[in-house]
Amino acid sequence: MISDMAFSFLGTGSVKAAPVYGCDCIACQRALSNQTYRRQAACGVLEVNGVRFLIDAGYLGLEEKFPPGSLDAVLLTHFHMDHVQGLFPIRWGMGESIPVFSPDDPHGCDDLFKYPGIFDFSKKSLPFEPFHFKGIKITPVPLVHSKLTMGYIVEFNGKRLAYLCDSGVLRRDVEVLLKEHPLDLLILDCDQPPQEKAPRNHNDLTRALDVYKSIQPKQLLLTHISHHLDEYFITHPDCLPDGVAIGLDSQTWTI
Protein backbone atom coordinates (compact mmCIF):
# COMPACT_ATOMS: atom_id res chain seq x y z
CA MET A 1 0.00 0.00 0.00
CA ILE A 2 1.33 3.44 -0.95
CA SER A 3 1.23 5.90 1.94
CA ASP A 4 -0.51 9.21 1.42
CA MET A 5 2.30 11.17 3.04
CA ALA A 6 6.02 10.56 3.36
CA PHE A 7 8.24 12.95 5.28
CA SER A 8 12.02 12.75 4.95
CA PHE A 9 14.49 14.66 7.07
CA LEU A 10 17.22 16.38 5.09
CA GLY A 11 18.62 17.94 8.25
CA THR A 12 17.82 17.71 11.95
CA GLY A 13 20.43 19.99 13.48
CA SER A 14 20.25 23.29 15.31
CA VAL A 15 21.85 26.40 13.85
CA LYS A 16 25.25 25.04 14.94
CA ALA A 17 24.57 21.69 13.21
CA ALA A 18 26.88 18.79 14.19
CA PRO A 19 29.72 18.18 14.55
CA VAL A 20 30.38 21.70 15.82
CA TYR A 21 33.65 23.06 14.49
CA GLY A 22 36.37 22.53 17.08
CA CYS A 23 34.13 20.86 19.66
CA ASP A 24 35.38 17.70 21.38
CA CYS A 25 32.19 16.73 23.22
CA ILE A 26 31.04 13.12 22.96
CA ALA A 27 28.23 14.05 20.57
CA CYS A 28 30.50 15.88 18.15
CA GLN A 29 33.16 13.17 18.32
CA ARG A 30 30.47 10.58 17.54
CA ALA A 31 29.28 12.68 14.60
CA LEU A 32 32.84 12.95 13.29
CA SER A 33 33.35 9.20 13.37
CA ASN A 34 29.87 8.11 12.21
CA GLN A 35 27.99 9.83 9.36
CA THR A 36 24.66 8.64 10.82
CA TYR A 37 24.93 11.20 13.61
CA ARG A 38 25.91 14.22 11.54
CA ARG A 39 23.25 16.89 11.48
CA GLN A 40 22.65 19.51 8.81
CA ALA A 41 20.34 22.46 9.46
CA ALA A 42 16.72 21.47 10.10
CA CYS A 43 14.59 20.94 7.00
CA GLY A 44 12.85 18.17 5.13
CA VAL A 45 10.88 16.97 2.14
CA LEU A 46 7.20 16.11 2.26
CA GLU A 47 5.66 14.04 -0.52
CA VAL A 48 1.86 14.03 -0.64
CA ASN A 49 0.03 12.17 -3.38
CA GLY A 50 2.84 12.77 -5.84
CA VAL A 51 3.38 16.43 -4.85
CA ARG A 52 6.80 17.23 -3.41
CA PHE A 53 7.28 20.07 -0.93
CA LEU A 54 10.59 21.25 0.41
CA ILE A 55 9.97 22.35 4.02
CA ASP A 56 12.60 24.92 4.91
CA ALA A 57 15.85 25.02 3.00
CA GLY A 58 18.75 24.84 5.39
CA TYR A 59 20.28 21.79 3.68
CA LEU A 60 23.49 22.55 1.81
CA GLY A 61 23.44 20.72 -1.51
CA LEU A 62 19.79 21.07 -2.53
CA GLU A 63 20.88 21.84 -6.10
CA GLU A 64 22.43 18.37 -6.40
CA LYS A 65 19.67 16.53 -4.55
CA PHE A 66 16.76 17.96 -6.51
CA PRO A 67 17.16 18.31 -10.29
CA PRO A 68 15.10 20.97 -12.11
CA GLY A 69 11.39 20.19 -12.06
CA SER A 70 11.55 17.85 -9.05
CA LEU A 71 10.21 20.33 -6.47
CA ASP A 72 6.60 21.54 -6.67
CA ALA A 73 6.77 24.17 -3.91
CA VAL A 74 8.66 25.35 -0.85
CA LEU A 75 7.14 25.92 2.60
CA LEU A 76 9.35 28.27 4.63
CA THR A 77 8.87 28.64 8.37
CA HIS A 78 10.92 31.85 8.52
CA PHE A 79 13.86 33.69 7.03
CA HIS A 80 16.73 32.93 9.41
CA MET A 81 19.75 31.89 7.38
CA ASP A 82 19.85 28.30 8.68
CA HIS A 83 16.37 27.81 7.18
CA VAL A 84 16.93 29.39 3.75
CA GLN A 85 20.63 29.05 2.90
CA GLY A 86 20.02 26.16 0.49
CA LEU A 87 17.97 28.43 -1.79
CA PHE A 88 20.87 30.69 -2.69
CA PRO A 89 22.76 28.28 -5.01
CA ILE A 90 19.52 27.44 -6.87
CA ARG A 91 17.94 30.83 -7.42
CA TRP A 92 19.94 31.69 -10.52
CA GLY A 93 19.06 28.37 -12.11
CA MET A 94 16.98 27.79 -15.25
CA GLY A 95 13.50 26.33 -15.53
CA GLU A 96 10.01 26.97 -14.23
CA SER A 97 9.36 29.25 -11.29
CA ILE A 98 9.05 27.50 -7.90
CA PRO A 99 6.38 28.93 -5.57
CA VAL A 100 7.56 29.67 -2.03
CA PHE A 101 4.97 29.94 0.75
CA SER A 102 6.45 31.98 3.57
CA PRO A 103 5.53 34.34 6.43
CA ASP A 104 4.71 37.90 5.38
CA ASP A 105 8.10 39.14 6.57
CA PRO A 106 9.06 42.25 4.58
CA HIS A 107 12.74 41.80 5.37
CA GLY A 108 13.19 38.22 4.16
CA CYS A 109 16.83 37.15 4.20
CA ASP A 110 19.73 38.98 2.58
CA ASP A 111 18.70 39.95 -1.01
CA LEU A 112 16.33 37.04 -1.74
CA PHE A 113 13.38 39.35 -2.38
CA LYS A 114 15.42 41.75 -4.53
CA TYR A 115 16.91 38.95 -6.61
CA PRO A 116 14.54 35.95 -6.30
CA GLY A 117 15.74 34.19 -9.44
CA ILE A 118 13.51 31.18 -10.12
CA PHE A 119 11.70 31.46 -6.75
CA ASP A 120 8.28 33.11 -6.49
CA PHE A 121 8.03 34.69 -3.03
CA SER A 122 4.60 36.25 -3.66
CA LYS A 123 2.76 33.47 -1.80
CA LYS A 124 2.26 34.67 1.78
CA SER A 125 1.39 32.31 4.63
CA LEU A 126 -1.07 34.05 6.93
CA PRO A 127 -1.92 32.77 10.42
CA PHE A 128 -4.85 30.36 10.53
CA GLU A 129 -5.77 31.05 6.88
CA PRO A 130 -5.78 27.65 5.11
CA PHE A 131 -4.87 27.42 1.43
CA HIS A 132 -4.87 24.56 -1.06
CA PHE A 133 -2.04 23.51 -3.33
CA LYS A 134 -2.81 20.79 -5.90
CA GLY A 135 -5.64 19.47 -3.74
CA ILE A 136 -3.65 19.46 -0.48
CA LYS A 137 -4.86 21.59 2.42
CA ILE A 138 -2.21 23.57 4.27
CA THR A 139 -2.84 25.70 7.34
CA PRO A 140 -0.12 28.09 8.58
CA VAL A 141 0.03 28.56 12.36
CA PRO A 142 2.04 31.28 14.14
CA LEU A 143 4.97 30.24 16.30
CA VAL A 144 6.78 32.17 19.02
CA HIS A 145 10.27 32.99 17.75
CA SER A 146 12.69 35.90 17.35
CA LYS A 147 11.58 36.37 13.72
CA LEU A 148 8.10 36.09 12.18
CA THR A 149 7.61 32.33 11.96
CA MET A 150 4.92 29.94 10.77
CA GLY A 151 4.42 26.25 11.32
CA TYR A 152 2.40 24.24 8.81
CA ILE A 153 -0.38 21.71 9.21
CA VAL A 154 -0.75 19.57 6.09
CA GLU A 155 -3.91 17.52 5.51
CA PHE A 156 -4.73 15.02 2.80
CA ASN A 157 -7.05 12.04 2.61
CA GLY A 158 -7.79 12.07 6.32
CA LYS A 159 -4.12 12.22 7.38
CA ARG A 160 -2.66 15.19 9.28
CA LEU A 161 0.95 16.20 9.76
CA ALA A 162 2.38 19.31 11.41
CA TYR A 163 5.85 20.80 11.07
CA LEU A 164 6.53 23.28 13.91
CA CYS A 165 10.06 24.70 13.82
CA ASP A 166 11.32 27.07 15.38
CA SER A 167 9.11 27.70 18.38
CA GLY A 168 9.24 28.87 21.96
CA VAL A 169 6.29 28.05 24.20
CA LEU A 170 3.34 27.10 21.99
CA ARG A 171 0.63 29.73 21.67
CA ARG A 172 -2.64 28.79 23.35
CA ASP A 173 -4.71 29.23 20.14
CA VAL A 174 -2.33 26.95 18.22
CA GLU A 175 -2.42 24.37 21.00
CA VAL A 176 -6.24 24.40 20.99
CA LEU A 177 -6.35 23.96 17.21
CA LEU A 178 -3.96 21.01 17.33
CA LYS A 179 -5.89 19.36 20.15
CA GLU A 180 -9.19 19.72 18.32
CA HIS A 181 -7.77 18.13 15.16
CA PRO A 182 -5.48 15.24 16.18
CA LEU A 183 -2.24 14.71 14.30
CA ASP A 184 -0.80 11.52 12.87
CA LEU A 185 2.69 13.00 12.92
CA LEU A 186 4.16 16.07 14.62
CA ILE A 187 7.67 17.30 13.82
CA LEU A 188 8.78 19.72 16.55
CA ASP A 189 11.96 21.63 17.27
CA CYS A 190 13.82 20.60 20.42
CA ASP A 191 17.06 22.48 20.81
CA GLN A 192 18.28 21.86 24.34
CA PRO A 193 18.28 19.31 27.17
CA PRO A 194 15.87 20.01 30.06
CA GLN A 195 16.21 23.60 31.27
CA GLU A 196 14.97 25.15 34.51
CA LYS A 197 13.35 28.05 32.65
CA ALA A 198 11.64 27.80 29.28
CA PRO A 199 13.99 29.00 26.47
CA ARG A 200 12.72 32.01 24.50
CA ASN A 201 12.98 30.81 20.92
CA HIS A 202 13.08 27.01 20.95
CA ASN A 203 11.78 24.08 22.93
CA ASP A 204 13.98 22.31 25.40
CA LEU A 205 13.23 18.63 26.01
CA THR A 206 10.94 19.39 28.97
CA ARG A 207 8.74 21.75 26.92
CA ALA A 208 8.74 19.48 23.86
CA LEU A 209 7.44 16.58 25.97
CA ASP A 210 4.86 18.91 27.50
CA VAL A 211 3.60 19.63 23.96
CA TYR A 212 3.48 15.89 23.27
CA LYS A 213 1.39 15.26 26.38
CA SER A 214 -0.96 18.10 25.58
CA ILE A 215 -1.41 17.58 21.82
CA GLN A 216 -1.13 13.77 21.88
CA PRO A 217 -0.08 13.15 18.25
CA LYS A 218 0.31 9.53 17.25
CA GLN A 219 4.03 10.17 16.73
CA LEU A 220 6.35 13.01 17.73
CA LEU A 221 9.68 13.50 15.95
CA LEU A 222 12.26 15.84 17.45
CA THR A 223 14.36 18.04 15.19
CA HIS A 224 16.58 21.18 15.37
CA ILE A 225 18.73 19.22 17.83
CA SER A 226 21.89 20.76 19.30
CA HIS A 227 25.04 18.85 20.20
CA HIS A 228 24.22 19.59 23.86
CA LEU A 229 20.93 17.71 23.47
CA ASP A 230 22.68 14.86 21.67
CA GLU A 231 25.06 14.61 24.63
CA TYR A 232 22.03 14.33 26.91
CA PHE A 233 20.51 11.59 24.76
CA ILE A 234 23.79 9.65 24.85
CA THR A 235 23.94 9.82 28.65
CA HIS A 236 20.16 9.35 29.15
CA PRO A 237 19.27 6.68 26.57
CA ASP A 238 15.84 5.91 28.07
CA CYS A 239 14.60 9.47 28.55
CA LEU A 240 11.91 9.44 25.83
CA PRO A 241 8.42 7.96 26.22
CA ASP A 242 6.85 5.66 23.65
CA GLY A 243 5.68 7.60 20.62
CA VAL A 244 8.59 10.08 20.69
CA ALA A 245 11.67 9.65 18.49
CA ILE A 246 14.91 11.52 17.86
CA GLY A 247 15.09 12.65 14.25
CA LEU A 248 18.10 11.71 12.16
CA ASP A 249 19.21 13.14 8.82
CA SER A 250 17.95 11.09 5.83
CA GLN A 251 15.23 9.33 7.86
CA THR A 252 11.83 8.85 6.20
CA TRP A 253 8.50 8.50 8.00
CA THR A 254 5.23 7.56 6.33
CA ILE A 255 1.65 7.99 7.49
pLDDT score for 3: 62
pTM of the predicted protein model: 0.96
- Asked if residues 57 and 65 have their Cβ atoms less than 8 Å apart, the reply is no
List the Cα angle 253/81/126 in 5-degree steps.
Answer: 70
Task: Give the confidence band of 4 by pLDDT, cuts at 50, 70, 90.
Answer: confident
Q: Could you give the CA distance from residue 138 to residue 5 in angstroms, rounded to a whole number?
A: 13
Task: For the chain, give the percent of residues with pLDDT over 70.
Answer: 99
3-state DSSP assignment of residue 189:
strand
Q: Which pLDDT tens digit goes with each residue over 14-58? A: 999 899 999 999 999 999 999 999 999 999 999 999 999 999 999
What does the pLDDT average to over 167-180? 95
CB–CB of 161/148 below 8 Å? no
8 Å CB contact between 131 and 138: yes
How many C-beta atoms lie closer than 10 Å to residue 21's C-beta?
A: 7
- Residue span of the structural domain in which 62 resides: 5-254
Looking at residue 231, what is its pLDDT?
A: 97
> Residues 184, 157: contact at Cβ < 8 Å?
no
pLDDT for 68 beyond 80: yes
Q: What is the pLDDT of residues 129-148, one digit of tens each?
A: 999 999 999 999 999 999 99
Domains identified in the chain, total number: 1
Residue 251 has pLDDT above 60, yes or no: yes
Burial class (CB within 10 angstroms; exposed 0-12, middle 13-18, buried 19+) of 33: exposed
pLDDT of residue 134: 96
What's at 66, amino acid-wise? F
> CATH no. for residue 145?
3.60.15.10
Contact indicator for 154, 46 with CB cutoff of 8 Å:
yes
Q: What is the pLDDT of residue 1?
A: 45
